[in-house]
Structure 1
Amino acid sequence: MGKWILENKDWVVPLSVALLSLVGAALGGWWAGRKRIGIEVLSKNRQEWINDLRRQVSEFISLAMDLSDEIVIKKLTTKYEISEQREIIKKIYKIISIRDYLILLLNPSEKDSQNIIINIENIITTINKLHNTNKQNDPMEIATKYSLKTKSHITKLTKSTQLVLKTEWKRVKKGI
């Protein structure tokens, strides 16, 4: 076989090089395409994660503000009946449910994600303290104190979330 190759080297060598090049190009194209598809899937999943985080944090903030305002109004204007307290407690459970979902979405080893969780916990703690505050205290003082605390924590939560979203968006753009 070696003798035959040497006798026909004028056409065997170029043909062999062409075939090897063709196989190499096919394998290279397949590998690059496979890698590109993997990057596209990863980017799509990251984008869905970004949208989900944005949506969940937005819902949490909306419910927290609504709940805080509702508790303040009820403490200032009504007897705050048991049925009203049950509605408040249902809403508290709802924001706790969103908190739990967000904890599952976030990476506990990243500092910005930890800050989101801390701010969420601070908001829930503030709302619970407001809910459990005795009405005999000065209602306007209570309303002002807890409303300002809640808004401060929400501002911090918003900034922490923006940092995480920006970091993830950069990863999507880079394709990593």
Structure 2
Amino acid sequence: MHDDIGAADPGSLRRRDPQGVQTEAWKQTLEDTEAIAQERRDDGWEVVTIMAAHTDTVSRDMGDDERFGLVHVVPNNYAETFTEVFDSDEFTEYLAYGTEIDGFMFVVTELIDPETERSILLPSRYDIARADGMFTSAADEGVLYTHVKTIDGTILGTFEHEEYDPFVPRPNA
């Protein structure tokens, strides 16, 4: 009977990753993150990688506030590191490396402080099937946000992305 439930919901099969496609994509995302970090370090930059316990897509109509975008929930050990490094006035640039695989977006977001040559890397994965509201909010506003918060909901920092194509799947890709 348990197999019938999975068969009735093709999305659950995708989330379970029976062929390991998502697992391999996540491994590649982490390898890409490390390669970017090493390249920056080789150029003399200070690099911090922040691992989120969960990344979610949020639309403007999901809560009491108007916040939308990618929300990275970080454990306390990464929260402290993030708050020690991130300053929204200093981190003024970004790069994003994203690819769609098996119904999920795998993204490495790099927040950049060009003046002091510091970089924060945020590897993430989100379910495209649950992101329509975020896509609509981004299209309506012409921007996308990255939010980093703790599990209790405390926002540690927010970054605005004026160009957000690398964060969303490409049509017919």
TM-score bin, normalised by smaller chain: under 0.3
In our comparison, the structure showing a higher alpha carbon Rg is: 1
Using the size of structure 2 for normalisation, the TM-score is 0.25
Q: Which has the higher helix share?
A: 1
Give the strand-richer structure, 1 or 2. 2
Normalising by structure 1, report the TM-score: 0.25
By relative contact order (CA 8 Å, sep 6+), the higher-ranking structure is 1
